């Protein structure tokens, strides 16, 4: 009774259908090569026995894993969930399983990645983490496995593989242009972590855009953050303590923007009346905060989908586009209610319509 019925094997099916194992296997993998009669016999036998292909055996023989590794820096960060979701959707639809690993969690994370690729437990890697150790890079190069890796969101310039990303510089420019168009000339920036490629790119783009607009940005107005909620609060405290306070703030993440705003409100500073705020990402909550957050939307589902599709194309050999090419997912400014003309301009309505360039 408590005996566990052994899983039926291909031999059992073959026997039940009165054919050879080869025929059963072919019914599953190349049904068009069998006569209709046999094919049906086999499928009936499969039904009857409840047969399932043993994955390990198939993988061993075919030297494929049918799985993709997704490397996430901090799985606990909800920003990644939509990306993971769309990656999953595309891969699952193509018969691949999705393995996830948190690249910050284990000292052994570098080990894990190259291990998985080298020992055949996955066919490819999508990494949302732009930091790639030298060891990993070298290992991938040696094993000639570069074409089975793609970056998503983040990237590293040292690893020549395809990269799916938002145009962060463009997004930053949209944010700055928007604020400048409203009349702001004193704009602060709360950055991402210095070691993060996105943080660096957005910060550099911010400086460049401000320079292009001829804005005079005080060094103090570049406030180091780390994308986190806590960083937004800290940034608000710093700005509210400043002698010459900027009239607008561009935050490198929505999380920082939202907590920045909360802290301002808590300290009696009104957004956007007293200070305008622009975020980056367009997380779900951005549309539902009060006031609703003006931000730069990253197409998270699109990023995931494109990355998955790109990887699949490479795995299936469409090397039409081998190497380190970049694909940009669409990005856009979502104007909501945390930006307005600066107070000084509102006092001189003449300048509001056509703000000084």
Partner DNA sequence: CACACAAATGTAATCGATTACATAGCGCGA
Partner DNA sequence: TCGCGCTATGTAATCGATTACATTTGTGTG
* Binding footprint of DNA on the chain (CB under 7 A): 7, 9-11, 18-26, 28-29, 33-35, 37-39, 51-54, 57-58, 60-63
Residue 221 binding result from a second copy, DNA, none, given CB thresholds of 5 to 8 Å by partner type: none
Which residue in 186, 208, 229, 269 binds a second copy (CB under 8 A)? 229
Alpha-carbon distance values, 220 to 38, 136, 278, 307 (Å): 77, 37, 18, 37
Which residue in 105, 133, 207, 332 binds a second copy (CB under 8 A)? 105
In whole angstroms, the minimum distance from the beta carbon of 24 to DNA comes to 7
CB atoms within 10 A of CB 54: 12
- Cα Rg, the chain, nearest whole Å: 27
Alpha-carbon distance values, 70 to 73, 97, 102, 304 (Å): 10, 10, 9, 10
Proportion of the chain in helix, strand, coil states, percent, rounded to 5 = 50, 15, 35
Residue 77 binding result from a second copy, DNA, none, given CB thresholds of 5 to 8 Å by partner type: a second copy
Which stretches does DSSP call E strand in the chain? 67-72, 97-102, 124-127, 149-152, 163-166, 187-190, 222-223, 248-251, 276-281, 294-298, 326-329, 331-334
| Closer residue to a second copy in complex, CB, 57/211 | 57
Alpha-carbon dihedral angle through residues 139, 71, 191, 346, given to the nearest 10 degrees: 140
| Segment 242 to 281, residues that bind a second copy, using CB under 8 A | 255, 258-259, 261-263, 265-266
Alpha-carbon distance values, 266 to 62, 103, 185, 252, 350 (Å): 61, 36, 25, 21, 32
Which residue in 20, 31, 47, 55 binds a second copy (CB under 8 A)? 55
| Closer residue to a second copy in complex, CB, 75/201 | 75
| Closer residue to a second copy in complex, CB, 17/256 | 256
352 interacts with a second copy by CB under 8 A: no
Which residue in 14, 19, 38, 80 binds a second copy (CB under 8 A)? 80
Name the site residues for a second copy (rule: CB under 8 A).
Answer: 2, 4-5, 7, 50, 52-57, 59-60, 63, 65-67, 74-82, 84-85, 88-89, 92-93, 97-102, 105-106, 112, 115-116, 118-121, 142-144, 229, 232-233, 255, 258-259, 261-263, 265-266, 284-285, 287-292
């Amino acid at each position: 009774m408590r005996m566990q019925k052994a899983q039926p094997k291909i031999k059992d099916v073959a026997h039940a259908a009165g054919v050879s194992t080869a025929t059963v296997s072919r019914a599953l993998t190349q049904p068009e090569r069998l006569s209709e009669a046999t094919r049906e016999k086999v499928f009936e036998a499969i039904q009857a026995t409840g047969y399932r292909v043993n994955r390990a055996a198939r993988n061993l023989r075919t030297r494929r894993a049918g799985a993709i590794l997704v490397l996430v820096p901090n799985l606990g960060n909800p920003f990644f969930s939509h990306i993971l979701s769309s990656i999953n959707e595309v891969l699952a639809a193509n018969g691949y399983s999705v393995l996830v690993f948190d690249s910050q969690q284990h000292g052994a994370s570098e080990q894990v990645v190259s291990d998985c690729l080298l020992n055949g437990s996955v066919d490819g890697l999508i990494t949302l983490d732009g930091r790639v150790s030298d060891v990993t890079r070298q290992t991938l190069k040696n094993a000639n496995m570069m074409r089975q890796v793609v970056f998503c969101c983040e990237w590293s310039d040292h690893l020549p593989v395809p990269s799916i990303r938002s145009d962060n510089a463009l997004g930053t420019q949209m944010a700055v242009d928007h604020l400048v168009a409203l009349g702001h000339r004193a704009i602060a920036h709360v950055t991402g972590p210095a070691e993060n490629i996105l943080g660096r790119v957005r910060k550099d783009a911010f400086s460049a855009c401000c320079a292009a607009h001829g804005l005079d940005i005080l060094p103090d107005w570049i406030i180091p953050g780390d994308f986190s909620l806590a960083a937004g609060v800290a940034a608000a405290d710093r700005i509210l303590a400043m002698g010459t306070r900027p009239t607008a703030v561009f935050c490198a993440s929505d999380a920082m923007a939202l907590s920045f705003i909360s802290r301002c409100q808590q300290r009696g500073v009104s957004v956007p009346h007293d200070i305008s705020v622009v975020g980056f990402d367009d997380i779900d909550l951005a549309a539902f905060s009060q006031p609703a957050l003006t931000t730069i939307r990253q197409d998270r589902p699109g990023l995931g989908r494109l990355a998955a599709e790109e990887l699949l194309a490479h795995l299936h050999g469409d090397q039409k586009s081998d190497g380190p090419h970049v694909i940009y997912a669409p990005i856009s400014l979502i104007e909501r209610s945390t930006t307005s003309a600066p107070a000084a301009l509102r006092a001189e309505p003449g300048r509001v319509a056509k703000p000084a360039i």
